[in-house]
Amino acid sequence: GAGVSQSPRYKVAKRGQDVALRCDPISGHVSLFWYQQALGQGPEFLTYFQNEAQLDKSGLPSDRFFAERPEGSVSTLKIQRTQQEDSAVYLCASSLGDIDQPQHFGDGTRLSIL
């Protein structure tokens, strides 16, 4: 498809389980971002990749959060030992790479931790 694709669309997990969220960016986009959006709030930055290099992970809330983009295309956000406060929508965005280029977002993964 032409847009950013995220899967799964919805994920329900029990507290303590590990989850993995996938993002397939727009073809040719070198930059990839992950954001977390709590209910009723704006998205908050988690981490940023340029190709396969993770250049900024300052927004990851704890060491339970881990992201990778090994071949510079698809990215996975992993959350270990999930907690209830991890419940949110996780958004992935990609762009051509320069600051003036808009980020294009996927539909997000809605994560619910029971």
Partner 1 sequence: AQKVTQAQTEISVVEKEDVTLDCVYETRDTTYYLFWYKQPPSGELVFLIRRNSFDEQNEISGRYSWNFQKSTSSFNFTITASQVVDSAVYFCALSERDSSYKLIFGSGTRLLVRP
Residues that bind partner 1 (CB under 8 A): 31, 33, 35, 40-45, 48, 55-56, 59, 89, 91, 93, 95, 98-100, 102-108, 110
* Closer to partner 1 by Cβ: residue 82 or 109: 109
Report the C-alpha gap between 72 and 52 in whole angstroms: 4
> CB 42 → partner 1: shortest distance, Å?
3
* Closer to partner 1 by Cβ: residue 1 or 14: 1
Bond prior to 8 in cis (omega within 30° of 0): yes
* Closer to partner 1 by Cβ: residue 66 or 105: 105
* Closer to partner 1 by Cβ: residue 19 or 91: 91
Q: What distance separates the 2 farthest-apart alpha carbons in the chain?
A: 40
Distances (CA, A) of 71 to 34, 53, 76, 107: 17, 9, 11, 23
75 within 8 A of 23, measured Cβ to Cβ: yes
> CB 105 → partner 1: shortest distance, Å?
4
